[in-house]
Amino acid sequence: DIQMTQSPSSVSASVGDRVTITCRASQGISSWLAWYQQKPGKAPKLLIYAASSLQSGVPSRFSGSGSGTDFTLTISSLQPEDFATYYCQQANSFPVAFGQGTKVEIK
């Protein structure tokens, strides 16, 4: 089974900061990676699929990159509504696997 490891587990940042979250797969998954944002008490929201494709309606300050085993989610200019937990998910093969999450907190 493929394991997904995110880093860091949490990050403190200020509004306007550039934030980068990384996700590593235990084996190659091509570009079959998705990123989700989850706010407390809410369902996850799809941000990025196929490693770099922006889901409809998601602000362009969110971007994804990478292929193979190493992936990155970047928020170019952090906004107040972006404070949340972010998860990566491999979509290459079953079983589906999520990362452990990265919490973006207010500095």
> Could you list the residues that contact other proteins (CB under 8 A)?
1, 32, 34, 36, 38, 42-46, 49-50, 55, 87, 89, 91-92, 94-101
Helix (H, G, I), strand (E, B) or coil at 73: strand
For other proteins, which is the closer residue by CB, 16 or 40? 40
Query: Bridge-partner residues for 105, per DSSP?
Result: 12
Phi-psi sector, 53: left (phi>0), alpha (psi -120 to 50), beta: beta
As measured in angstroms, the least distance from the Cβ of 107 to other proteins is 22
**19 or 89, CB closer to other proteins?**
89
